[in-house]
Amino acid sequence: MKKKLVFFAVKLLIGLFIVFGLQILVFKQVNFQPDFKLVVVSYIVNFLLAFVIVAILSIYINKLKSYIGFLFMFGSLLKFAVFFIWFYPIFKADGNIDSFEFSVFFIPYFVSLIFETYELSKLLNKM
């Protein structure tokens, strides 16, 4: 179990790192200057939440078979809560949220969601 979680963490980290680089390149191409710390924090938060969600579901998958889907959805709800509590006020401070600000959180969110979904579908297929 530990090996699978470490392997998942490494894959997720590499995937997010690649997407982070691409996102920064796009920001530079369109002359968008986001708060770099906020972008980094967004990727770290999404990585940690995705890892914790997969770890918890992996540990309890046999005990809570019939609730895994609901727990997975709760994990996504948790991510949205983090966005609205932490990131949304920062983006909304200037009175406007443009598509690039929106992408600061939601690109790593969707990438980590893809990795989570793939990992959990592998676990469920083995049952």
What is the DSSP-derived secondary structure letter of residue 1?
-
CA distance 96 to 69: 35
Q: What is the pTM of this model?
A: 0.87
pLDDT at residue number 111: 96
18-56, pLDDT tens digit by residue?
A: 999 999 999 899 988 877 888 899 999 999 999 999 998
* C-alpha pair distances (Å), 95 with each of 31, 35, 37, 68: 20, 16, 20, 39
CA 92, 98, 16 angle in degrees (round to 5)? Answer: 95
Using one digit for the tens of pLDDT, what is the confidence trace for 88-108? 887 777 777 777 778 888 899
Separation between Cα atoms, residue 79 and residue 42, nearest integer Å: 11
